[in-house]
């Protein structure tokens, strides 16, 4: 009876998570549209890779804010970590790790959006070297935070990071080889480093999601 009640409680909790996630997704979609309009961007005239980068950057920012928001409540953070409504509150180490991950996501969004928006809105110009210097500093900061996340992560999180990196490497290696071969044979136009970077982050994000879902299902 207790086991059945526990499974029912977990199922209800996950159902509530799906509903909250759906509502948050709709709100974020609306926020995306409002932000695009406020900035005066025309998605129809933007290159598809820039639209993809814009979406990725905003998703990173959204996830970063959500991660930081969850850490404000040890009880909520504990429930998210254990995927159980009656889980114990998160420890100080777990909250600290969650905040680090949230900051990493926020900075990833900033790194993705800054070169895109300054270019699209014509804000760089003569200040391009200064903008690039700022991007380089933020990149170094984010790399340091990523290292701290790895240091403080448990074995499960480290395994997930390693699996994500391995899957991304093999997928991108194969895609790069095929694309380079097609270009050499004149079957495919050349693409920019920006395109390669956006696709790389997209593949890594998808691989990270798949690995996380599989880890929770086990």
Q: pLDDT tens digits for 24-55?
A: 667 767 777 777 777 777 788 888 999 999 98
Cα–Cα distance between 107 and 134 in angstroms, integer? 12
> Cα–Cα distances in Å, from 17 out to 6, 34, 79, 123, 158?
16, 25, 11, 40, 25
State the pLDDT at residue 15. 62
Please report, for the chain, the start and end positions of each structural domain, with discontinuous segments joined by +: 2-151, 154-218
State the pLDDT at residue 177. 93
From the list 50, 52, 54, the residue with the least C-alpha distance to 62 is 54
Q: What percent of the chain has pLDDT over 90?
A: 29
Dihedral angle, C-alpha 81, 82, 88, 90, nearest 10 °: -10
pTM reported for the whole predicted model: 0.81
> Cα–Cα distances in Å, from 142 out to 101, 136, 137, 151, 213?
10, 10, 9, 14, 25
Distance from chain centroid for Cα 37: 23
The answer on pLDDT for 23 being more than 90 is: no
Confidence label for 101 from pLDDT (cuts 50, 70 and 90):
very high
State the pLDDT at residue 3. 39
State the pLDDT at residue 2. 38
Confidence label for 216 from pLDDT (cuts 50, 70 and 90):
low
Is residue 67 a contact partner of residue 102, using CB atoms and an 8 Å limit? yes
User: Which of 6-20, 51-65, 105-119, 191-205 has the least mean pLDDT?
Assistant: 6-20
């Amino acid at each position: 009876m207790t086991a059945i009640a526990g499974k029912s409680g977990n199922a209800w909790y996950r159902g509530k998570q799906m509903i909250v996630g759906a509502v948050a997704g709709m709100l974020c979609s609306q926020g995306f549209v409002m932000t695009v309009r406020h900035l005066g961007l025309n998605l129809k005239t933007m290159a598809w890779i820039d639209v993809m980068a814009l979406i990725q950057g905003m998703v990173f920012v959204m996830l970063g804010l959500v991660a930081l928001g969850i850490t404000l409540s040890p009880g909520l953070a504990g429930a998210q970590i254990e995927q159980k409504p009656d889980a114990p509150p998160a420890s100080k180490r777990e909250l600290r790790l969650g905040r680090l991950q949230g900051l990493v996501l926020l900075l990833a969004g900033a790194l993705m959006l800054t070169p895109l928006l300054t270019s699209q809105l014509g804000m760089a110009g003569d200040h391009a070297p200064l903008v690039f210097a700022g991007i380089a500093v933020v990149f170094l900061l984010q790399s340091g935070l990523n290292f701290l996340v790895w240091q403080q992560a448990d074995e499960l999180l480290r395994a997930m990071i390693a699996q994500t990196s391995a899957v991304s490497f093999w997928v991108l290696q194969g895609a790069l080889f095929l694309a380079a071969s097609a270009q050499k044979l004149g079957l495919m136009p050349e693409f920019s480093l920006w395109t390669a970077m956006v696709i790389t982050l997209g593949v890594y994000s998808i691989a990270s999601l798949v690995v996380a879902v599989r880890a929770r299902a086990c």
